[in-house]
């Protein structure tokens, strides 16, 4: 396959001369000015090299170079300069030009330099892909699991990471969605760029929008100073929109536009800002179901779920439990002076037969607690927390007597069990927010640690 080259020059004769010379070995496109050059680059992603005159009416070659490199950092660029503009061209090397040639163009030189620039680019691309192969092992190493379901997740991460495609990560709380989002970033060519996470559920309406899009001074009452939004902060990197199901209908509309055009305005401003971002979203509710219920825009859903990664609840892949336990045990033993050396088969069996409503997060916390409280040696049945050792009782129709708090705790744990460990559903059944539920569960965990 021939490499594609774009030739930009306002002089028709020069343009055609070069096009004829290079047309033998390359696929050539021409443009008479910067504006049409950008259009050509947009239209043809296969263009690998741009050859541009410096002095042109309208935007000059240097401005074109900057715009083109911003659009496509991988593009090789050679500038053509008349005698008087050599200094400018040298300066342009700093802006990403690979080489420059002086006019009138020596056609043999032209051919050589183009071949050289393309070769350098190909080598660089190879280095990037080799590096990302190394990183693949690194990024995925944080995620443990050998079950078929997790193997599928690994494959999807590897396929999706190097692309620009938007990814939706779905799964119950504590299944590793944030871990997957990080892996997608660190295995991409944006790994050196920022990873910006936004907790959508934590902020409502205007606050979330100002967080995402930024605002101008005075855009609303509290906007005392201009502020850069997260979309701008994530330029060149990845933005992770966590709990995406929680955003309001009006923010959904704005987000749809960002997904479609990669552009937006700060609140209180009419200036359109373009960003180069990879969008990854996560959700612990069934987003397709919310679409069916009319609570989430269908068009936005499809834009987000270009690639859909689903993380199964831990109880659906109990085979992963021993590996996870060993991993966390090693991690926490090392952090606590290595007194704990392992776990007995009987204790492991208990951990394997528990339901883990809080999924991997709960398992990790349980192992940490066991390691910290153990006197040393092998963890045994006696080290396993009570509620894991004895399966929860069914919901009592008459709540046990006791303090109000104990009753509340029994009820919450029973409903959580009934909801199959799904925290969102349990919170709904209880009529409290997920946040409140977590706060209470945290409290119970600390209490039981103290006793
Ligand atoms: N497969 C896994 N291997 C190793 N650690 C894991 C795995 N899955 C989750 N964890 C760990 O469990 C904890 C919870 O994971 P994470 O925060 O990614 O969950 P989440 O799906 O984003 O949960 P939530 O919906 O509550 O935000 C983290 O400490 C994470 O490192
Ligand atoms: Mg999370």
Q: Token pair for residue 242?
A: 């966590």
Residues 91 and 203 in one domain: no
Per-residue pLDDT for the chain (451 aa), expressed as one digit of tens each? 788 999 999 999 999 999 999 999 999 999 999 999 999 999 988 899 999 998 888 898 999 999 998 888 789 999 988 766 677 777 777 788 888 888 888 888 899 999 988 888 777 766 655 655 554 444 777 899 989 999 999 999 999 999 999 999 999 999 999 999 999 999 998 998 899 999 998 887 788 998 999 988 877 777 777 788 899 999 999 999 999 999 999 999 999 999 999 899 998 888 888 889 999 999 999 999 999 999 999 999 999 999 999 999 999 999 999 999 999 999 999 998 889 999 999 999 999 999 999 999 999 999 999 999 999 999 999 999 988 987 655 544 444 455 667 777 888 888 888 777 778 878 877 767 787 888 888 888 877 776 5
Q: How many domains does the chain have?
A: 3
Residue 172 Cβ inside 6 Å of ligand 1? The answer reads no
Q: Whose CA is nearest to atom 29 of ligand 1?
A: 361
Residue 180 alpha carbon to ligand 1 centre in Å: 9
Residues 270 and 196 in one domain: yes
CA distance 62 to 83: 16
CA distance 252 to 212: 12
Residue 270 in any domain: the answer is: yes
Domain interval for residue 192? 143-312
What ranges in 99-234 are assigned the alpha helix state H?
107-141, 148-160, 177-186, 205-213, 230-233
Residue 134 in any domain: the answer is: no
Residue 178 alpha carbon to ligand 1 centre in Å: 6
Residue 223 in any domain: the answer is: yes
Residues 97 and 223 in one domain: no
Residue 395 in any domain: the answer is: yes
Q: What is the pLDDT of residue 310?
A: 96
Residue 255 in any domain: the answer is: yes
Residues 272 and 160 in one domain: yes
Residue 362 alpha carbon to ligand 1 centre in Å: 9
CA distance 59 to 64: 7
Q: Token pair for residue 149?
A: 């379901």
Question: For 74-90, what is each residue's pLDDT tens digit?
Answer: 899 999 887 666 777 77
Q: 328: part of which helix (H) or strand (E)?
A: helix 321-335
Residues 13 and 107 in one domain: yes
Residues 389 and 300 in one domain: no
CATH code (residue 180): 3.40.50.300
CATH code (residue 420): 1.10.8.60
Residues 306 and 333 in one domain: no
SS3 445: helix
SS3 250: helix
Question: For 305-346, what is each residue's pLDDT tens digit?
Answer: 999 999 999 999 999 999 999 999 999 999 988 899 999 999
Residues 158 and 265 in one domain: yes
DSSP state of 375: -
**DSSP codes of every residue in 63-130:** HHHHHHHHH-TT-EEEEEE-GGGHHHHHHHHTTT--EEEESSP-HHHHHHHHHHHHHHHHHHHHHHHH
Give the number of the atom of ligand 1 that is nearest the alpha carbon of residue 179.
Answer: 18
Among the bound ligands, name the one nearest to the CA of residue 173: 1
What ranges in 354-422 are assigned the alpha helix state H?
359-373, 386-389, 404-418
Residue 135 in any domain: the answer is: no
Q: Are strands 238-242 and 263-265 parallel, antiparallel or unpaired?
A: unpaired
Q: Token pair for residue 108?
A: 């043999």
Among residues 312, 332, 359, the one where a domain terminates is 312
Among residues 312, 329, 362, the one where a domain terminates is 312
Residue 266 Cβ inside 6 Å of ligand 1? The answer reads no
Residues 246 and 320 in one domain: no
CATH code (residue 118): 3.40.50.2300
Residue 165 in any domain: the answer is: yes
Residues 99 and 72 in one domain: yes
Residue 245 alpha carbon to ligand 1 centre in Å: 19
- Ligand 1 binding pocket mutation candidate from 149, 178, 366 (most atoms within 8 A of CB): 178
Q: Whose CA is nearest to atom 8 of ligand 1?
A: 176
Residues 347 and 252 in one domain: no
Residue 357 Cβ inside 6 Å of ligand 1? The answer reads no
Across all residues in the chain, what is the average pLDDT? 87
DSSP state of 192: T
CA distance 451 to 445: 10
Among residues 79, 94, 125, the one where a domain terminates is 125
Q: Whose CA is nearest to atom 10 of ligand 1?
A: 176
Residue 338 alpha carbon to ligand 2 centre in Å: 29
Strand order in the sheet with 99-102: 27-31, 4-8, 47-53, 76-81, 99-102
Question: For 101-146, what is each residue's pLDDT tens digit?
Answer: 888 888 888 999 999 888 887 777 666 556 555 544 447 778 999 8
Residues 328 and 349 in one domain: yes
Question: Would you state the torsion angle of the CA atoms of residues 51, 52, 54, 55, taken in this order, to the nearest 10 degrees?
Answer: 140
Residue 409 Cβ inside 6 Å of ligand 1? The answer reads no
């Amino acid at each position: 396959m021939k490499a594609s080259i774009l030739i930009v020059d306002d002089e028709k004769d020069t343009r055609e001369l070069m096009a004829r010379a290079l047309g033998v070995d390359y696929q050539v496109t021409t443009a008479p000015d910067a504006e049409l050059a950008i259009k050509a680059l947009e239209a043809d992603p296969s263009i690998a090299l741009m050859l541009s005159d410096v002095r042109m009416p309208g935007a000059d070659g240097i401005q074109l170079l900057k715009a083109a490199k911003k659009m496509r950092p991988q593009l090789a660029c050679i500038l053509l300069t008349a005698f008087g503009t050599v200094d400018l061209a040298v300066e342009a090397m700093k802006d990403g030009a690979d080489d420059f040639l002086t006019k009138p163009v020596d056609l043999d030189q032209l051919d050589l330099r183009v071949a050289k620039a393309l070769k350098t680019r190909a080598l660089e691309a190879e280095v990037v892909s080799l590096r990302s192969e190394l990183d693949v092992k690194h990024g995925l190493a944080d995620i443990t699991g050998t079950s078929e379901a997790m193997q599928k997740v690994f494959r999807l991460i590897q396929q999706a990471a190097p692309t620009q495609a938007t990814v939706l990560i779905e799964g119950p709380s504590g299944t590793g969605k944030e871990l997957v989002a990080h892996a997608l970033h660190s295995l991409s060519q944006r790994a050196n760029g920022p990873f910006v996470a936004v907790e959508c559920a934590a902020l409502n309406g205007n606050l979330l929008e100002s967080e995402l899009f930024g605002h101008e001074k005075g855009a609303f009452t509290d906007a005392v100073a201009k502020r850069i939004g997260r979309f701008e902060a994530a330029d060149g990197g990845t933005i992770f929109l966590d709990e995406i199901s929680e955003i309001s209908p009006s923010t959904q509309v704005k987000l749809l536009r960002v997904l479609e055009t990669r552009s937006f305005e700060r609140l209180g401003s009419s200036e359109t800002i373009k960003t180069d971002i990879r969008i990854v979203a996560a959700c612990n509710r069934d987003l397709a179901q919310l679409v069916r219920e009319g609570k989430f825009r269908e068009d936005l859903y499809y834009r987000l779920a270009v690639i859909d990664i689903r993380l199964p609840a831990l109880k659906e892949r109990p085979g992963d439990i021993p590996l996870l336990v060993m991993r966390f045990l090693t991690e926490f033993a090392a952090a606590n002076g290595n007194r704990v050396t392992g776990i007995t088969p009987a204790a492991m069996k208990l951990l394997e037969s528990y339901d883990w409503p809080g999924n991997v997060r709960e398992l990790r916390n349980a192992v940490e607690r066991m390691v910290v409280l153990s006197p040393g040696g092998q963890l045994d049945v006696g080290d396993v927390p009570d509620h894991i050792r004895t399966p929860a009782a069914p919901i009592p129709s008459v709540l046990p007597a006791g303090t109000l708090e104990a009753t509340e705790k029994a009820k919450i744990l029973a409903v959580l069990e009934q909801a199959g460990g799904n925290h969102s559903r349990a919170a709904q059944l209880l009529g409290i927010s997920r946040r409140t539920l977590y706060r209470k569960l945290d409290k119970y965990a600390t209490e039981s640690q103290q006793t």
